[in-house]
A = this chain, B = another copy of it.
Amino acid sequence: MTGEQLFQNIKNKKSFLCIGLDTDIKKIPESLHKYNNPAFEFNKQIIDSTNKYSVAYKPNTAFYESRGLHGWESLELTVSYIKKYYPDIFLIADAKRGDIANSSEMYAKAFFENMEFDAVTVSPYMGKDSVMPFLKYKNKWVIIVALTSNPGAEDFQLFKSGNNKILFETVVQKSKEWGTADNMMFVTGATRASLLVTIRSIIPDHFILVPGVGAQGGSLDEVVKYGKNKKLGLIVNSCRSIIFADNTPGFAETAGSKAKELQLQMQKLLKENHII
């Protein structure tokens, strides 16, 4: 998917919502365990009831890998389902991979060829050659993990140097040179919304993927206030507060309502900022 297509989808759906599919098998409704692949069935119902309100989905690979072959199959089925029935969805593998070049090539193959993800999150620690293999694919995206929402972000990402630079700034500054605003995005946690200003000043044109709104405590208004550019340039992820809002057989309907609530807030913000 191109950046322009994604922007059009945001305007059409009046939403910049990404829904995290961190499908923890222990949290899905009991009623789904009769299915062959309960995690896939859960995702399918969540997707069917929320896709009107979202432009992206983001399965987190950890939750699938934790269940081995069966889990990996849930992931592959989910990707195929979205690509078949909702081809306008921007599909992100939240994998946080990154290894030396010949290994990263294999990860790129896993997510862009073997599965048809549009984007993959990549950890920047190993530098340029760990990122480049993902950038060889046309209309696919690398999302560099810049500044995360967890407490541990303070251990190294906010590591200060004598010349007033901070590691996450250097990461964004340097890595933006490896690609373009049409094949790279950057992760910035919603709990650090004020630092979005810093990141936005380095990358005025790139999309920023912002997780952490909802269960992790980030504020949507602040994210938009500090992170927007003239075409919005934001995808905001929410997960647990949508997909695990209800664990009765009516879970999908509840997820739909929760997604709609966020979409309506986003619609208001898009209007206020003259994007729609």
Q: From A146, which residue of chain B is reached at the shortest CB distance?
A: B125
List which A124-168 residues lie within 8 A (CB) of chain B.
124-131, 145, 148-157, 159-163, 167
- A60 adjacent to B127 (CB under 8 Å): no
- A127 adjacent to B98 (CB under 8 Å): no
Residue A123 at the chain B interface, CB threshold 8 Å: yes
Stretch in A108-116, A227-235, A249-257 with 4+ CB within 8 Å of B: A108-116
Q: Which residue of B68, B152, B159 contacts A110 across the interface (Cβ within 8 Å)?
A: B68
Stretch in A43-51, A69-77, A193-201, A268-276 with 4+ CB within 8 Å of B: A69-77
- B145 adjacent to A104 (CB under 8 Å): no
List which A3-42 residues lie within 8 A (CB) of chain B.
22, 24
Q: What total of chain A residues lie within 8 Å of the partner, measured CB to CB?
A: 61
Q: Count chain B CB atoms within 10 A of each CB in A66, A94, A174 and give the residue with the most.
A: A66
Q: Which residue of B104, B110, B159 contacts A161 across the interface (Cβ within 8 Å)?
A: B159
Instruction: For A72, list chain B residues within 8 Å (CB).
Output: 68-69, 72
- A159 adjacent to B167 (CB under 8 Å): yes
Q: Which residue of B105, B152, B167 contacts A156 across the interface (Cβ within 8 Å)?
A: B167
Residue A107 at the chain B interface, CB threshold 8 Å: yes
Residue A101 at the chain B interface, CB threshold 8 Å: yes
How many Å from the CB of A92 to the closest CB on chain B? 14
- In the complex where A126-B153, A151-B128 touch, is A103 in contact with B60 (Cβ < 8 A)? yes
How many Å from the CB of A178 to the closest CB on chain B? 9
Residue A97 at the chain B interface, CB threshold 8 Å: yes
- A125 adjacent to B124 (CB under 8 Å): yes
Residue A106 at the chain B interface, CB threshold 8 Å: yes
- B65 adjacent to A76 (CB under 8 Å): no
Residue A100 at the chain B interface, CB threshold 8 Å: yes
Q: Count chain B CB atoms within 10 A of each CB in A67, A101, A128, A149 and give the residue with the most.
A: A128
Instruction: For A156, list chain B residues within 8 Å (CB).
Output: 124-125, 127, 167, 170-171, 174
Q: 3 shortest A-B CB distances, which residue pairs?
A: A162-B162, A127-B152, A127-B155
Known contacts A65-B106, A130-B150; 4 further A-B pairs (Cβ under 8 A): A69-B69, A123-B126, A126-B145, A131-B152
